[in-house]
A and B are shown apart, each in its own frame.
Chain A
Amino acid sequence: MTITENPTTSTELVPVDVPATETVPDTETAAPTPDPKHIVLTYEQVEALGRDLDELRARVVADLGQKDRDYLYSIIRAQRGFEIAGRGLMYLGFFPPAWLAAVGALSVSKILDNMEIGHNVMHGQYDWMREDTYNSREFEWDTVCPADQWRHSHNYLHHTFTNIVGEDRDIGYGILRMDRDQKWNPYYLGNLGYATALMVLFEWGVMLHDLEVENILARKRKWYDVKGLVKGMWRKAGRQVLKDYVVFPALTGPLFVTTFLGNASANLVRNLWTFSIIFCGHFPSGAQTFTPEECADETRGQWYLRQMLGSANITGSPLFHIMSGNLSHQIEHHLFPDIPASRYPEISGEVREICERYGLPYNTGSLSHQLLSTWKKIAKLSLPNFMTRDDNDLVVTVERSRTAAA
């Protein structure tokens, strides 16, 4: 629990002394409350935070142009290069170093395709280019999940209801316990095992995500409701399987088996990598979750605040950021999901500054730190709450409606 309702009704309220006329953030009174783990924000402060972020967004959008187009095409060019190199090297698959290089190149190709190109293009980050194919309506990625289903479960559900327990299905993907507010039952003793299986089979898990299998099992959703989804999966997965496990192996003739194994390995490497990056986005300790009541009738400022508090970044080199599709800038991505991801590094400093100005945490750490933190959480949550300690000691008190300030 992090955000309290209207402070006038809140018991854990730290008194906030704000004149009714105040409309601009006052850095003196905004940030430092005596306890750094208890953040108190008035309605107007949250709205001012929203205006700061809107202004930052408008500045970036106004500057979009040829260089962003050139950047996207340079990544596409690199991805195609790795793809062709990987497919080509499979013809030397009898020679182990060449096979390894082929798997490496193909893995890089799939990672670039899925993350820096696919995920970002499908978010509409490049829709302003009005280009064929590279827009959120048309783009398909090199993975078994159909683009239209991904856009529904990810762009709409996850990005709108981010970290709201019970509404954001990315919290545990219907099979894992990723938050203490999810009720424990003995099934979750296998949390670590399920997470590992999901990691290995990640592209298939992502494909099945929009089905909401757990809701079908719970009879909240009927099979005929998902017939269209299943057809779409069958079609997309069929094409992917045909390509990776029939066409390209067959094209290498006698090397069918080594090519088959090579393609499977590249898909596996992509699965491990994307799972790891994505799980560091919202699950490292410190990332906050919310209840539906806390988020009802949110203002834009309050929505921004939830995105900031619920996301976590990963530090790394420019190459690392590209290979993670800039999801290493998860906070910036969740604030501005439709701004080209290559712009996140340059605005991250300013976003962090805004966080600090309002006394908010900016959750970031190295990949190993964030991964360890995530896996520790998966392990702890396999047990009932009374057996483990709650790592989340952050309390955010937000005044949710204007009337209370007056």
Chain B
Amino acid sequence: MSIRIPAFVGTIIESALSPHPVDRYLELVDPMTTWRDLRAQVIAVDRPTSRTVRLTLRPTRQWKGHTPGQYVQLSTVIDGVRHTRCFSPANTPADDIELTITAHDGGFVSSHLREHAHVGMVVGLEQAAGDFVLPDDRPRTAVFVSGGSGITPVLSMARTLVAEGHRGQIVFVHYARTPDDVAYRTELTELARADNVDVRLHYTRGPAGDHFTDDHLADVADIDDADLFVCGPAALMDAVANHHGSRGLRGRLHQEAFTLAAPLTVDPDAPVEGSLTFLRSGRSATNDGRTILDQAESAGLTPESGCRMGICFSCTAIKKSGCTRNVLTGETDTETDTQIQLCINAPVGDVEIEV
């Protein structure tokens, strides 16, 4: 449901409910009736393989759509805590969003969604973002290479080209562990029916582990001028980038870094290492093991702070990435995009912080 009312009435409603955002009232009645927030409701759940779950999401009216290849941040509450993860829609730009989520070993959020996602569930959503996109000047020949769950952004691109009636050649190379792990088998078979679409599947597990080699692209006509799109594990990305370089391919190479949110095991006795990057001020420091607040101040920064003992929350800032250790409890935290207290957290390895 959407709300469209004159701006003047909107101003009155906002000032009447001030200081609380209007959405903090509406969500108690219906979380999908939103004033400003973007959310989405799960309208279909499918589990195409033993490790994946496919969600069809219907976003609220604030959704601006995605460009093929972009990702969205999806958030869901697990045992009282809101967790946010990035996923790339696999569909062509449309109102509904299709995400296929692979439950990686130890993947907390993906495993939770694989088990518990259900129709009617409401999730938090951010507008689509990312530069790994199908260029506006459409390539004549497009070669898509994906590994595992990296298939979704390139599938969105390939589907979009097909839907647009693209005349040039489309080669879609996908690497999966086993034949049972191809979450989009039916859809790929469907795509391959078009004369100009060539779908190639390779399986990486087992004795005949079939990883990327130059041969997999050698016979593509017009490979020299093709746009190459790659998304998958680091090893695959490196191999394709090497191929692109060593063969002197003239077409553009587009790649999306694909990282697993694997839980980090931390050895508290390990030597202090890594660097601390202060994103807002553009400075950085070599991690010396002290708290982030101390290290920021030594670097000449003056972040807001107070008690310096973890009780007042004045120094809370967003950690973009990296692992931190709470110096009071010894607990480590590897979540990205999360608020931490600078005065009681020390970096473990590389950390990026919004200071």
Contacts and interface: CB of A to CB of B under 8 A. Distances in A.
A47 interface: no
A133 B24 contact: yes
B19 A239 contact: yes
Contacts, number: 103
A236 B311 contact: no
B269 interface: no
Contact of A131 (B82, B306, B307): B82
Nearest to B25: A80
Contacts of A80: 25, 28
A248 B80 CA distance: 35
B313 A248 contact: no
Interface in B234-292: none
A155 B311 contact: yes
B288 to A, nearest CB: 23
Given A160-B306, A247-B15, A129 B80 contact: yes
Contacts of B16: 243, 247-248, 251
A130 B314 contact: no
B307 A243 contact: no
Given A151-B313, A239-B15, A133 B81 contact: no
Contact of A58 (B25, B84, B311, B329): B329
A247 B8 CA distance: 13
Interface residues of B, number: 32
Nearest to A64: B80
B339 interface: yes
Contact of B82 (A130, A137, A337): A130
A142 interface: yes
Nearest to A73: B28
Contacts of B316: 124, 127, 136-137
B28 A156 contact: no
A356 B232 CA distance: 61
Given A65-B80, A243-B15, A159 B21 contact: no
Contacts of A338: 310-311, 313
B81 to A, nearest CB: 6
Contact of A129 (B18, B24, B81): B81
Nearest to A141: B19
A61 B333 CA distance: 15
B18 A152 contact: no
Contact of A239 (B18, B81, B306): B18
Given A58-B329, A128-B81, A123 B15 contact: no
B329 A65 contact: no
A77 interface: yes
A133 B21 CA distance: 8
A220 interface: no
B313 A66 contact: no
A337 B81 CA distance: 20
Contacts of A123: 313
A67 B80 contact: yes
Interface of A: 54, 58, 61, 64-70, 73, 76-77, 80, 123-124, 127-133, 135-137, 140-142, 151-152, 155-157, 159-160, 236, 239-240, 242-243, 247-248, 251, 300, 303, 337-338
29 contacts: A64-B80, A65-B80, A69-B77, A76-B24, A127-B313, A128-B80, A130-B81, A130-B82, A130-B83, A131-B82, A132-B37, A133-B21, A133-B24, A136-B313, A137-B316, A151-B313, A152-B314, A155-B313, A156-B314, A159-B307, A159-B312, A160-B306, A160-B307, A236-B19, A239-B15, A243-B15, A243-B16, A248-B16, A303-B309
Interface of B: 12, 15-16, 18-21, 24-25, 28, 37, 77, 79-84, 124, 306-307, 309-314, 316, 328-329, 338-339
